[in-house]
Structure 1
Amino acid sequence: MLAFLADHSLIALIVILAAGLAIGRLRIFGMSLGAAAILFVAIFLSALDSHITFPPLIYQLGLALFVYSIGLAAGREFFASFASKGWRVNVFGGVMLLVLMGLAAGLAKLFGLDPTTASGTFAGSLTTTPGMAAIVELLKGTNPDLAAHPVVGYSLAYPGGVLGAIAVAAIGAGILKVNHIEDATREGLIHSRLRWRTVEIGEGVSGHISDVPRIAQADIIVTRMSLPDEHGGYAPQELAVPNTPLTPGLLLVIHGTDADLDTAISHLGAPAAVDVDMLEMSYGRVIVSNPAVAGRTIRDLDPISHGFIIARLRRGDEEVVAHESDMLELSDSLRVVAPKEQFPAVRRLLGDSENSLANVDLLPFAIGLLLGLLLGAIPIPLPGGTSLSLGFGGGPIVVGLLFGAFSHTGPVQWHLPYHANRVFTTFGLALFLAGVGTVAGPGFRNAMTDPASLKYIAMGFIITVTSALACGVVGMTVLKLRWDESMGMAAGMTTNPAVLGYLNNQTGTELAARGYATVYPIAMIGKILLCQALVVLLM
């Protein structure tokens, strides 16, 4: 069977993917590995037969797809948070990498390890393939006979680099009794269910409908209004035009969470005690599939001028009150209020086509990915005649973050529909884990037969656990992050998709991904530099 898999690489790849994904679903003590199980299946099979391997193209493509898709999804949040806490997280990340390099140097001296193999172990402990490759290139130019040593050290430390970070995340969440959903909710990533109510404006409330959220001191939106008529009743509902003055008796339909609605009504007046004719208005869900609309803010779209109001925005499983500053993306599901006769025009404007979303325009994705790979291939000269590059991981995520923040350039829409992005992210991660796992397998097998290799494994595991623990402690106490975001930062420090894949599967929220994306660029670049600096320091 092993010989058959070694002779048929494609079948071996699918076997590893299928077995890994199946094992990843198993829950033990409430935990599961998720996609990370693919890595360990690949290591296990390649340890049994070193001929079960794949071309580097497999994991390079997987890594590029994964990080570019992550960058597109996280770009806007990354830059939005940078001014508040993002810069502090990156300063910590830079300092932490220097501390870890010092720890690696100390452990190498303490254990009496070969400098070049120990440098590869440092790269493996933080699972940085580009860092290991940078050491190899450095040695090829200075001492070619030692160029294979870092690969051995990397292979020995890599499995522990994944397991150590996952263990800290799992054990820490258990000890701290982390409520993943509650933490994500408090960080604004998960929102309470939205409802609507009708409020009657009371005496002493002045301004215009556009002022209502400020007056109400709540995150709400006004979608419909009804003016008192001359007979003491109310006219049929109509769209809430922003410049309409607030007058006593005016009825407004407002949307928000129960808590925000209670707060708003207490500031605006009282719940309406009358029923209002709604026959002329329609309230329905419309999907954004028009590329000309995607990438524009609600303010730029100016729905009122098109005869409708966007009440709620749903992206993935989360539904929020729509704000003028919200940027629309392909596959966003919008709750729209409009006169019934206007709804066909609203659907034409926004698209509302599942079929067009399924026919993803891959040209912008391919262009963005190409630009990321080209950026990663640019050599950066270093003293001594050597050079480094961002590689297949660093270049794509930098470009992905930038395009994710800009969303579109003229008519070119960089964002993918939500579900398409998730498919690329998951598929890229799976390819990466399968490819890199077969690289690490033979070295792991040799470690089981050579007692001296245990020193390198121990060194790598100590560095990995120290990094994850420091991220957890400093993240929560100094940076004021939640545990899941701190562990996402720890995953970003390792730049390892396997750890993030585990966190995403275990927590069910986007909190870890936010921490991962925040620190990933500096971690990727920093480790490439420091891995080379370490081998120079030790030699």
Structure 2
Amino acid sequence: MEWIDVILYQHSAVQAVIVIAIIIATGLALGKIKVFGISLGVTFVFFAGIMAGHIGLSIDPGMLHYAESFGLVLFVYELGLKVGPGFFSSFRKGGITLNLLGLGVILIGTFMTILVSTLGGIPMSDMVGILCGATTNTPALGAAQQALEQIGVSANGAALSCAVTYPLGVVGVILAIILVRKLFIRPEQLLDHEQDDGNSTYIAAYQVHNPGIYNMTIKELASMSPSKFVISRVWRNGTVSIPGPETHLEKDDRLLVVTTEKDEAKLTILFGEQEAQNWNKDDIDWNTIDSQLISRYIIISRPEINGKRLGSLRLRNSYGINISRVLRSGVQLLATPSLVLQLGDRLTVVGEAKAIENVEKVLGNASITLKDPNLGAIFIGIVLGLILGSIPIAIPGISTPIKLGLAGGPIIIGILIGRFGPQFHLITYTTRSANLMLRGMGLSLYLACLGLEAGAHFMDTLFHSAGLLWIAIGFSITIIPVIIMALIAVYCSRLDFGSACGMLCGSMANPMALNYVNDTLPSDNAAVSYATVYPLSMFCRVVIAQLLILIFF
């Protein structure tokens, strides 16, 4: 049985792969077990790693550091890439509020750290480690260790206190979210507010009964109206047609209009009368509305279209069709001429069958070509993210420069590329399954290595004379700020519970808790909130960890 000893205990590349794979497979299997209806999912990989380290498994330190770093970078970059298209619009609508709430979480935890260190006589080096473990923030721990080494103090205490408090830091956020949900959240607060957002697309039929717009062209009407809308069809004298910018509106014309729900009433005043029929039901067969025109979905799969504005393609003038809506990442967008198109966008095209076939040739409509992720763009983005994370940022009064690190840099670049990449014709599209696969692999690698690294001395540290006290303090620093700010977010700032949870996970730098939230809540609001809050929160955590050492030690 000597070969078992070789593949499990003798350090090599093969042994490292086997050990990490066993930890991940075991953790994922155990993570499916539900206790009181709750499962930790991929988070259990971390505890499987701790157990593996406790029973004596280890891998080469260089390989361990590489796998842990690469897993973290891959996870946060793919997360940024996914939420990038909606990040800045989300920031405009509520990002300032989210970041202020996230800063509230950080400030409460920091105040508790200073208070306990001052009143309890615990050295700030240990307290910063407890804070980093309670907030699951290893980049902040690294910054604190660098500050301690700079002033000639051992960083072992910070590392040990972080390792002991880290597991409950992971679980504590999840437990706080569960507690708040069970005790304080009403069913309607679990709803995705985006479903009721006035910016979501809305279809309505109007009749032209406003004398002020008789004989006015659609182009003139659009320029004078503050509301955005797309007229999909016009019925006149029993004939249906696709309107163009120069189409004149006449009395009693019937219009099928795609707009936003918040502008529905304004357009009723503009056109004159709205019909009572509900055009937003899922079971409407658009091809049976009239016999002359059909409606079809076309997917953009040609790379040449990526990053171009819809109006620049002149599809309406060239082919006599109309594009009413664009579906992107599950979100319906108005097909305005200024909309920048991306690979994977699904366009709703209305027109004659032959014209739509010609438009398909222009746009591609070959979904099979989109199934392979563009790995080149992914690795280019990772390189740029690591470069950004390595740039030292000088802060007045602090001799050691601050860095965004492995987590902050890649997620910022991921967000920027996800949002602006198509405008530079950079193909960043990945299918949902590919994005989830890459994120899952990255997070599993990170958690397995993190647990394996902490597991060797975990039990000894746990029952150290101060170990249980560290755990109690760390758990308090985890759960108290989360509960306080969760209630403020939901009841004072009127956030839906998913957005509040994403804000809490981002401010606590806790991707494991985010994964739990994503598994239990249906919308992507939590992921968008997480990415909105995470960059600033990560930067503040790194700065605060160093400030606490330099000011209070």
TM range (shorter): 0.7 to 0.9
Contact kept in structure 2, 1:407 and 1:415, CA below 8 Å: no
For the residue of structure 1 that corresponds to 2:192, the secondary structure is helix
Q: Is the 8 A contact 1:64 1:392 kept in 2?
A: yes
Report the 3-state secondary structure (helix = DSSP H, G, I; strand = E; otherwise coil) of the residue aligned with 1:413: coil
Partner of 1:457: 471
1:341 to 340, 354, 358: 354
User: 2: distance between equivalents of 1:324 and 1:288?
Assistant: 16
Instruction: Find 2:155's aligned residue among 142, 147, 157.
Output: 147
1:313 to 298, 308, 326: 326
**Structure 1 residue 297: deviation in Å?**
4.0
Q: Which amino acid aligns with 1:359?
A: D
Residues 46 and 52, structure 1, Cα contact 8 Å, conserved in 2: no
The TM-score, its normalising length taken from structure 2, stands at 0.84
Matches within 5 A, 1:16-415: 16-49=23-56, 51=58, 55-94=64-103, 96-143=105-152, 146-175=154-183, 176-179=185-188, 182-186=191-195, 188=197, 200-202=207-209, 204=211, 206=213, 207-209=216-218, 221-228=230-237, 234-235=238-239, 237-254=240-257, 267-270=272-275, 278-307=290-319, 308-319=321-332, 322-381=335-394, 383=397, 385-415=399-429
Of stretches 387-396 and 87-96 in structure 1, the one that deviates more from structure 2 is: 87-96
Following TM superposition, by how much is the alpha carbon of 1:491 offset from its aligned partner in structure 2, in angstroms?
Answer: 0.6
Task: Please list the CA deviations of residues 40-95 of structure 1 after superposition, one character each: whole Å capped at 9, or x if unmatched.
Answer: 32233323335268611222112212222222232343322434532343344345
Residues 189, 510 of structure 1: 8 Å contact kept:
no
Specify the code of the residue in structure 2 equivalent to 1:60: S
**Equivalent residue for 1:231?**
none
**1:27 Cα deviation (Å)?**
3.6
Tell me, in whole angstroms, the C-alpha distance in 1 between the residues paired with 2:143 and 2:212.
66
- State the distance in 1 between where 2:46 and 2:376 align: 31
Contact (CA 8 Å) 1:371, 1:396: kept in 2 or not? yes
RMSD: 3.5
Inter-partner Cα distance in structure 1 for 2:336 and 2:41: 35
Output the CA distance in 1 between the equivalents of 2:178 and 2:38: 8
What is residue 535 of structure 2 aligned with on the other side?
521
Contact 2:299 2:364 in 1 (8 A): yes
Within 5 A, what are the aligned runs for 1:500-519?
Answer: 500-519=514-533
**Fraction of identical pairs, as percent:** 26
> Could you tell me which amino acid in structure 2 is paired with residue 156 of structure 1?
V
SS in structure 2 of the partner of residue 388 of structure 1: coil
Shift of the 66–277 alpha-carbon distance from structure 1 to 2, 3 Å rule, reads: closer
Give how far 1:210 is off: 5.9
1:276 and 1:43 mapped to 2: Cα distance? 61
One-letter code aligned to 1:113: I
Gapped regions of structure 1 (runs ≥ 5): 229-233
Secondary structure at 1:286 match in 2: strand
Aligned to 2:281: none
Partner letter of residue 75 of structure 2? F
Give the corresponding residue for 1:469.
483
Distance in 1 separating the partners of 2:288 and 2:274: 17
Query: Relative to structure 2, which stretch is displaced further, 373-382 or 457-466?
Result: 373-382
Q: Is the 8 A contact 2:102 2:506 kept in 1?
A: no
Distance of 1:462 and 1:277 partners within structure 2: 61
Q: 2: CA distance between counterparts of 1:107 and 1:310?
A: 61
Residue 490 of structure 1 deviates from its aligned partner by 1.0
SS at match of 2:52: helix
Task: Give the TM-score of the pair, scaled to structure 1.
Answer: 0.86
Consecutive unaligned residues of structure 2, counting only runs of 5 or more, are 278-286
Count residues in correspondence.
528
User: What is the Cα deviation at residue 227 of structure 1?
Assistant: 2.7
